[in-house]
Amino acid sequence: MVEGFNNNNNSKISGFYVFGDSTVDPGNNNYINTPFKSNFPPYGIDFPNHLPTGRFCNGKLATDYIGVKKSFLPPYLDPNLSVEELITGVSFASAGSGFDQLTPSISNVIPIGKQLEYFRECKNKLEVKLGKEATENHIENAAFFLSAGTNDFVLNYFTLPIRRRTFTILSYQQFLIQKVKDFIQDVVAEGARKIAVAGVPPMGCLPLVITLNSNYSTDNGRECIDQYSSVARDYNNLLQQELHLLELNLNNNISSPPKIYYVDIYAPLAQMIQAPQTFGFDEVGSGCCGSGYIEASILCNKISGACSDPSKYVFWDAIHPTDKAYHNLFWASIPIIDFIINN
């Protein structure tokens, strides 16, 4: 384990605060009125006590492995959270959310802007407990993580006609990245100084995307749809460039400048898909749950069932990685995690 994470005595990170979509939502959707939930079996079958927590996974998310002084990162909306848990860190993320304000409205989930409001609420609670100066110091030494964007493309732009009427794919990518930059500037204004932003995965390799876009009469079968993955690559490249420029701009205008880090999830996941045996996987074209082709959320349930060994699958359901795949993504991010801790 990386020095400083899951380490009570030596942590250089005071807390860990997470925003985004289902890739980092440990169960906030349990507490809102949305059909996009996963707090029922077979979700959670490899979580401690086989508990379906609301994570869209058979076990942990990558952010659970990057916990600070705790084994699992809890959802902010859990009414039983103590102030002490708020201090060490929580996730404000909501499965189905995205940077485009239209995206969370599709499934009635928590917009990124609302997640930021929840953080401000959390910050006020910390000030009551710690005092204003101690809270400011705490926030300055905490790590902030943002992971979203896939829903904006897969569930919104490519599925609904609304955005395609007014945006080309390039202008939509730029639109989303401006939303990312707006979020970063807002969280910096709240005192954040260590901010990591994840790119999007090879979207064309998601089992659901393959199902909806494949011609099964061909000999190719269930292959990744490069149209989607190409969009992801272009978006990630633009995102990295804009994050670098934003950091330079903030460094010139803030006395205590923030550090902004890009986290590549595309390459590690693509490697698992392209060379599965290297990582101990047997199946990459379908998820473990049900047929593996379309099941996610309410379609992945007790009746649909699950495979006997999720560790052999890259994907748990038709959209989300397995615990093992998330664990691999965590280890692939070790260099950037270590850099965040020590800078």
Shortest CA distance to 198 belongs to which of 336, 86, 323? Answer: 336
Q: Which of 14, 320, 323, 327 is catalytic?
A: 320
For residues 75 and 54, is the Cβ–Cβ distance under 8 A?
yes
Provide the strand spans (E) within the chain. Answer: 16-20, 89-91, 143-147, 194-198, 259-263
Instruction: Determine the residue type at 250.
Output: L
Give how far Cα 336 sits from Cα of 196, 261, 310, Å. 9, 8, 28
Eight-state DSSP code of residue 157: I
Q: Is 50 a catalytic residue?
A: no
Could you tell me the two tokens for 67? 């916990």
Q: How many residues does the chain have?
A: 343
Catalytic residue among 11, 22, 229, 286: 22
Q: How many Å apart are CA 294 and CA 9, to the nearest integer?
A: 45
- 71 among known catalytic residues: no
Write the single-letter amino acid at 110: I
Helix and strand tally (H, E) in the chain?
13, 5
DSSP letter, residue 50 = G
**CB 200 within 8 Å of CB 153:** yes
d(CA 28, CA 57): 14
Spatial contact of 321 and 57, defined as CB atoms under 8 Å apart: yes
Residue 211 amino acid letter: T
* SS3 category, 175: helix
The one-letter code for the residue type at 58 is: N
- 3-state class (DSSP) for residue 315: strand
Is-catalytic flag, 317? yes
Which one from 152, 317, 323, 327 is the annotated catalytic residue? 317
* Catalytic positions, written as ranges: 22, 317, 320
